[in-house]
Structure 1
């Protein structure tokens, strides 16, 4: 395969990647809005939802710029040329036109890339501010306030570097004479490194807001680990940002389109990780429904006393609500099944909680409640079961109903709903 055919093949692969990532990002954002609509309604949309819509528009424009660089300008820009090649290139030639157009597209693409990343950082800050609204934590609020200042200053600094690194500005698409590395937008060292450093430092700061709160929370270990992973998405963004920087600085003169390649990839990762906290409860709800259905099926075939527990405070938990718990969940979020045996001949594997029937009514209500209680009687000496208030026992299962066992003419128990 010739070099030109290989380049065309690589270009086609990248074009497919660009639109594949674009479609996936659209799907993730659509799921975000679907989750918000089904949980809080359109009227309760927040500023981070508006910022995300703006970010999607910028991301689309960035992808279009990357597509133009590869599909129309053949990856060419005002770099990767010797002085002799610059001097001999005819300004009326197609290559000259492609190089100038490619350089201009790189300038626009880099501005869109930077704007997108900082829009997504703003989404994180607004999201944190919304989660901590009403939480009595001055230190946390100060972190968010400082975050707003830091993100604004670093974004302005990145724009200043983009506009002031090459003066006059139109030298960024100059062909002859060579404008210098700082005026080559596809491989500009100062801009590439500066944006990467600012992006990495701000991502570290954003992660420093929720992670200490989650780590010190009283959430169950499994949920705590899930939140730590979810709020650590900045690590993945930093990895892609560093890969982008290294790729541009090492391969930029060989393949100027490297800037477009890695900018689109990093932007995609940033969009996904920023939407993850809002989309996560949607997937978790689907998983929980599947588990609930399978448990209910298993319970119906083995034990008629098994029900679903959604929100009962478990042993060892506290009443403090953690500000960074997953949205759309209950305070405790218990999804596990607790079954307590009520039979007189318990094997000891399951325990029971003694409680008078009137107290059961007072705690859990007369019909459907958030805890399931089953009241049974104990058999008398004649082999017939009889109702005894002092012998009543509460059985807690995953889904809670209040039931009373009455004494029948035989030793078998019969249950009636209150």
Structure 2
């Protein structure tokens, strides 16, 4: 991570960072607004889901990251500089760098928590998408891995520099207080594998889509955008670790966080996109052959298993449809919202189950 050889950031770098960061942020904020609009229009404020709430938190953290990066770039630098460059620092230079270093600590937390809150947002969406499918177990396992990754990365951050105030000391007590090289390695070891694990959930679902190839490619592009997050994360670490004193890490932090924001929010505006472009409404279903819990499909009070008192599983054909409820949408558009206003029109699960029930021997 980064500073220039001079005592302050180059004005050109600060200007370029501001232009790129606010442009990328504008796109991310716009997609987020569309997400919330879609939810309120088709489901109502009473049906805000957990992933929507997490998305709001992620946007706040993402905003904090962009602000911090611009404050650092437009200020007097931080305690990240080439060894020996502090020989000519004035007391005012040191004061500015101490302040900048404290902002760096905040920016690192904003970056880490932005990425992991967006992972949580996507996993909560996948949980709804796979409801009733045995594939949901994979979502739970990945969620546990993500939680462990976040905790371990936080531990790495808070233990990489001792004493902790070394993060803003000028000069720093040791290189890890300024380059965060070891922390960056730990972050990559948990961040990238969990991104790949999340892709392993979405890609099989898209593969089972039973629609024309053109439409499958469209939905596949929507759900496979996590690949770009992986690429951005890899490039961030490559540029970071190849030169730990380079300012380029700041640009790559912004790019990685921006791409992750797009990927986490775009699937949630699918109902709105299909409403605006009717040609997309024929994208119908995902056929999944596997096992499904009866309780998940029919509800906890279903009479399907009456008399047994046991939860069983059996072979099932599950049609997991990402489609608008056209009747509910029609009623919405003509003002007759009724109870359908509360439906989540983003992801509807239609399930067909073939049940073979063994008679109990008397």
Normalised by the shorter chain, which TM-score bucket? 0.7 to 0.9
Equivalent in 284, 299, 312 of residue 274 of structure 2:
284
Q: Which residue of 1 aligns with 2:68?
A: 65
* Structure 1 residue 180 corresponds to structure 2 residue 180: no
Larger Rg: 1
Moved more, 60-69 or 272-281: 272-281
Take 1:243 and 1:86, find their aligned partners in 2: how far apart are those partners? 30
* Structure 1 residue 132 corresponds to structure 2 residue 126: no
Alignment check: 8 A CA contact 1:248 1:259 kept: yes
Change (3 A) 1:5 1:162: closer
Gaps of 5+ in 1: 293-309, 331-418
How far does the alpha carbon of each residue in 1:293-350 deviate from its partner, in whole angstroms, 9 at most, with x for none? xxxxxxxxxxxxxxxxx77999xxx996533x434267xxxxxxxxxxxxxxxxxxxx
Q: Secondary structure at the match of 1:209?
A: helix
| Larger helix fraction of residues | 2
How far does the alpha carbon of each residue in 1:89-126 deviate from its partner, in whole angstroms, 9 at most, with x for none? 44xx2211222222221111111101011101101111
Aligned length: 292
With structure 1 as the length reference, what TM-score do the two structures score? 0.64
Gaps of 5+ in 2: 1-5, 290-315, 327-362
Take 2:105 and 2:284, find their aligned partners in 1: how far apart are those partners? 56
* Structure 1 residue 120 corresponds to structure 2 residue 118: yes
* Shift of residue 233, structure 1, vs aligned partner: 1.6
Q: Which residue of 2 aligns with 1:36?
A: 39
Equivalent in 188, 191, 196 of residue 183 of structure 2:
191
Report runs of 4+ in structure 1 exceeding 6 Å deviation: 3-6, 310-314
Q: Secondary structure at the match of 2:253?
A: helix
Higher relative contact order (Cα pairs below 8 Å, separated by 6+ residues): 2
Q: Which residue of 2 aligns with 1:243?
A: 235
With structure 2 as the length reference, what TM-score do the two structures score? 0.73
Equivalent in 155, 159, 172 of residue 160 of structure 1:
155
How far does the alpha carbon of each residue in 1:126-183 deviate from its partner, in whole angstroms, 9 at most, with x for none? 10111222x2x33x1211111221111000011001100111111112223x533211
Take 2:282 and 2:201, find their aligned partners in 1: how far apart are those partners? 28
Q: Which residue of 2 aligns with 1:225?
A: 217
Take 1:20 and 1:125, find their aligned partners in 2: how far apart are those partners? 27
The correspondence of residues 401-416 of structure 1 with structure 2, limited to 5 A, is none
Take 1:89 and 1:82, find their aligned partners in 2: how far apart are those partners? 13
Take 1:275 and 1:8, find their aligned partners in 2: how far apart are those partners? 33
Change (3 A) 1:312 1:237: closer
RMSD of aligned residue pairs (Cα, Å): 2.9
Take 1:147 and 1:5, find their aligned partners in 2: how far apart are those partners? 42
* Shift of residue 5, structure 1, vs aligned partner: 11
Alignment check: 8 A CA contact 1:277 1:326 kept: no
Q: Which residue of 2 aligns with 1:21?
A: 24
Q: Secondary structure at the match of 1:218?
A: coil
Take 2:28 and 2:283, find their aligned partners in 1: how far apart are those partners? 37
* Shift of residue 216, structure 1, vs aligned partner: 2.9
